[in-house]
Amino acid sequence: MSELEYQEGRTELNAFGEFALIDRLTDEFEPCNPSTVKGVGDDCAVIGDGKIKTLVTTQTLAEGIHFDMAYTPLKHLGYKAVAVSLSNIAAMNGTPRQIVVSIAVSNRYSVEALEEFYAGIRLCCQRYDVDLVGGDTNSSRSGMVVTVTAIGEADEAKLTYRSGAKLHDLVCVSGDLGSAYSGLLILEREKVTFQANPNFQPDLDSYDYVLERYLKPEPRLDIVKMLGDAGVVPTSMIDVSDGLASELLHICKASQCGCEVYEERIPIDYQTTRVCSEMSQNMLPVSNALNGGGDYELLFTIDQKDYDRVKEMEGVHIIGHITEQGLPAVMVTPQNSTITLVAQGFRD
């Protein structure tokens, strides 16, 4: 069979989860350049021959999948598209420097709309001292698709991979979890109500925190700085884009270990709790934290020797510890029962 001949048979895309699909597609790519330090499999690729490594990551947001124009202000969308890419640089303990932005847009969008979108991009670039250095502009038949590629750097001594967690390390997470997904639930609810009654004026003021978390997430570069200032290099790190459960499983798989986290230690904002109780009696805030996603917080592990330095850090919560290889990733409830974590992931 010639190399370009098609294989027989057809497997539907939904037969694979996202990660199994990436594995299958990239499995046979072996890096051939010595400067490719880390290829597929972490939050960023790591490139370079020197002590300061270059980090590269790319993220796509597609209309109808990742955002809904019914409730997404374009300025927020521009900000978010940059922020989610920078979050992957933060997850390597790195510093972002440049972005390139590719857009495909249909003629439903006006020049003014795209200017608004770019105002959001500019705001995020200014906020994090990042330069827009290029991109690509195309037309699209179905809505808008945005891809932001971020380039950053990190001293190799400070680089953190998903794979460095070791037995007895402490598991830490920044900020709070489940709030972005709670914001999305509110926006979806208000959209349905508005469709039923276009005169309806949603009252969103009391949900300001969760809405902002969904519409305008921040990359936790402040946490990267705080760790650096304290002289702490995490043993492993990942950003929480798909929910705590999925990210813990990534760390455990890459680091060949298990972990135990304590339910009552998982940080959850009161607005998240309120949204859950409003939505349904059966909706538990911890489920949003485990499976909601979109929070873009940092999940990392530290050596026990760094406990004293990390325990006082504002916005950092120690939620558990790493267990032996072969053990599962579990959550211990306040009643002391153990739940094995499975990745349900975000709808993204």
247 near Mg ion, judged by CB under 5 A: no
State which of positions 139-168 bind Mg ion (CB under 5 A): none
CA distance 5 to 129: 47
Which residues share a beta bridge with 63? 67
Closer CB to Mg ion, 44 or 105, in the complex:
44
Based on DSSP, count helices (H) and strands (E) in the chain, helices before strands.
10, 13
Q: Which residues of 10-43 are buried (b: 16+ CB within 10 A; e: fewer)?
A: eeeeeeeeebeeeeeeeeeeeeeeeeebbeebbb
Stretch that binds Mg ion, among 102-110, 125-133, 233-241, 260-268 (CB under 5 A): 233-241
- Residue whose Cβ sits closest to ligand ADP: 43
Query: With respect to ligand ADP, which residue has the nearer C-beta, 149 or 271?
Result: 149
Q: Which residues sit at the interface with ligand ADP, rule CB under 6 A? A: 22, 25-26, 40-43, 59, 88, 241
Give the whole-angstrom CA distance, residue 177 versus residue 186. Answer: 16
The yes or no reply on residue 88 touching Mg ion (CB under 5 A) is yes
**43 sits near Mg ion (criterion: CB under 5 A):** yes
168: which 2 tokens?
């007895």
Find the binder of Mg ion among 42, 63, 239, 306 (CB under 5 A): 239
SS3 content of the chain, % helix, strand, coil (to 5): 35, 25, 40
Closest-CA residue to 222 (of 100, 87, 103, 340): 87
Q: Quick one: what does residue 65 bind among Mg ion, ligand ADP, none, with the CB cut-off 5 to 8 Å set by partner type?
A: none
Provide, rounded to whole angstroms, the least separation between the CB of residue 191 and ligand ADP.
26
**DSSP label at residue 304:** G
Please say which residue, 241 or 288, places its beta carbon nearer to ligand ADP: 241
User: Minimum distance from CB of 91 to ligand ADP (Å)?
Assistant: 7
Residue number with CB closer to Mg ion (46 or 74)? 46
Q: Which of 115, 78, 74, 114 is nearest to 99 (CA)?
A: 78
Of 239 and 269, nearer to Mg ion (C-beta) is 239
- In the complex, the residues that contact Mg ion under the rule CB under 5 A are 43, 88, 239
